[in-house]
Amino acid sequence: MHIIARRAATGIGSPVLTSLCTSRLTGTRRLYTMADSDHTVFNKPKVELHVHLDGAIRVQTILDVAKRRGITLPTDTEEELTQKIALEKPSTLTAFLEKFNEYMHVVAGDREAIKRIAYEFVEDKAKEGVIYVEVRYSPHFLANTQVEPIPWNQTEGNLSPDEVVHLVNEGLSEGERAFNIKARSILCCMRHMPSWSMDVVELCKKYRHEGVVAIDLAGDESLNCLANPGHRRAYEEAERCGIHRTVHAGEVGPASVVKEAVEVLKAERIGHGYRTLEDEGLYRKLLAQNMHFEVCPVSSKLTGACDPDFTKHPIITFMKDKANYSLNTDDPLILNSNLHLDYSTVHRYMGFTEEEFKRLNICSAESCFLPDEEKKELLDRLYEAYGMMTSTAF
Ligand SMILES: [Zn+2]
């Protein structure tokens, strides 16, 4: 993947971008985030809808928190820890998920760390030119009490999933004020833990006026909802209460998982959804419904979800069909990536144009989970930035 990243950058012919990506490759994350928009493929405001908070932590923060808490890591340098966490080449979703074991025990259960990662996340997104982001996470994975089983081999403490959501909300809203962008959150159910899902929807309801906009279902797609009715019940409750719904589906799982997400879980957006294309009838139906696909180009290669040859990527079909989709990072910590890399990748290998970048960002804003009035404000900001304002003076 690193070789691909370097090629993607050099292909654009920008020496600055090349050096920035080289900095990224050596793990000095702070340097590339200084990449200023002048040197990016799409130097305009962007919307991101699919990124995991616990997959978007700064390596330096993991090191700092480990030191403060007296947790021993295999290395204490940013460069070496980056190499340890990052997926090096196209792999499997299982190998990808194992990467979380490298560092989640450091931040889980720690109030200061959780608030800090949320705050820093907003800063990183602002530096990428994102003006609106929806960030997702499992509150249970960051807790150490009122969660069964307690994750990451933690001993029981006193940080509940409920307080995790409160802390993330605080970090995000402080970040919003400091960096002048808008950040909302999505709470994830995990496919292998159906017993957590009703808790998740209750947290969505409790915090819906403090920045939580939707529910998600993530994890192993082979665990369907027929066998795990806890998810279906949670999504029914979400629909009943007007909580927005997205579902990871058709990433590595077959088109039938997408079908289930839409028909059973009443998903309004699909996380990834690449394998929808294997069911022509379903794909045409979802196109006609204007279903939104949250696509993650760099992620889809490294997790093994898609053919590593980007020129054969399903996103090309979405683009040609003028589908409703967004471009997203998914887990930039584990992919050692950033949003610029996703944009430069589709530009370099899939022929994406400035016009398509504008169109997909407008689709993203239209499909975001903000209330209508705020959505309109976001769209107006994009129209203005993209030079698409129409005069309403007369
Ligand atoms: Zn995801």
Q: Which domains does the chain have, with CATH numbers?
A: 47-382 (3.20.20.140)
Mean pLDDT over 327-348 rounds to 96
Q: How many CB atoms lie within 10 A of CB 321?
A: 13
* Encoded tokens for 191: 């496919």
State in Å: Cα 372 to ligand 1 middle: 25
Contact predicate 243/205, CB 8 Å: yes
pLDDT of residue 19: 31
Mean pLDDT over 236-255 rounds to 96
pLDDT of residue 6: 27
Q: Is 332 left (phi over 0), alpha (psi -120 to 50) or beta?
A: alpha
Place of tokens 């409920």: 162
State in Å: Cα 326 to ligand 1 middle: 13
Is pLDDT larger for residue 322 or for residue 34? Answer: 322
Average pLDDT, the chain: 89
3-class SS of residue 247 = strand
Amino acid at 199: D
Candidates 7, 29, 15; CA nearest to 335 is 29
Least confident of 48-52, 86-90, 352-356: 86-90
Contact predicate 142/115, CB 8 Å: no
State in Å: Cα 37 to ligand 1 middle: 25
Place of tokens 């130097």: 43
For residues 135 and 294, what is the distance between their CA atoms, to the nearest angstrom?
12
pLDDT of residue 39: 55
Confidence of residue 391 (pLDDT cuts 50, 70, 90): low
Q: What is the pLDDT of residues 271-323, one digit of tens each?
A: 999 999 999 999 999 999 999 999 999 999 888 888 888 988 999 999 999 99
pLDDT of residue 392: 53
Candidates 92, 17, 84, 80; CA nearest to 338 is 17
For residues 154 and 105, what is the distance between their CA atoms, to the nearest angstrom?
7
State in Å: Cα 393 to ligand 1 middle: 43
Confidence of residue 390 (pLDDT cuts 50, 70, 90): low
For residues 106 and 72, what is the distance between their CA atoms, to the nearest angstrom?
9
Mean pLDDT over 198-203 rounds to 98
* Encoded tokens for 89: 């080449």
Mean pLDDT over 94-119 rounds to 94
φ and ψ at 212, to 5 degrees?
-90, 125
Candidates 201, 290, 270, 267; CA nearest to 237 is 201
C-alpha torsion angle, residues 155, 161, 167, 170 (rounded to 10): 170
pLDDT of residue 20: 32
State in Å: Cα 259 to ligand 1 middle: 18
State in Å: Cα 275 to ligand 1 middle: 15
According to DSSP H, which parts of the chain are helical?
Answer: 2-12, 15-25, 29-33, 59-69, 78-85, 93-98, 104-107, 111-127, 161-179, 197-206, 229-241, 255-263, 280-288, 297-302, 314-320, 332-335, 339-350, 354-366, 372-385
Q: What is the pLDDT of residues 162-190, one digit of tens each?
A: 999 999 999 999 999 999 999 999 999 99
φ and ψ at 3, to 5 degrees?
-65, -45
Mean pLDDT over 130-155 rounds to 97
Count how many Cα atoms sit within 13 Å of the Cα of residue 289 in the half-sphere of its side chain. 16
Candidates 279, 363, 267; CA nearest to 314 is 279
Which residues lie below 8 Å from residue 381, measured CB to CB, with a gap of 6+? 45, 131
- 251 a catalytic residue: yes
211 alpha-carbon distance from chain centroid: 16
> What percent of the chain stands above pLDDT 90?
79
pLDDT of residue 277: 97
pLDDT of residue 24: 37
pLDDT of residue 30: 33
Q: Hey, which of 12-26, 82-96, 309-323 has the most confident mean pLDDT?
A: 309-323
Mean pLDDT over 341-358 rounds to 95
State in Å: Cα 330 to ligand 1 middle: 5
Per annotation, catalytic residue among 128, 134, 251, 268: 251
Which residues lie below 8 Å from residue 142, measured CB to CB, with a gap of 6+? 54, 107, 108, 109, 114, 159, 161, 164, 168
Mean pLDDT over 211-225 rounds to 91
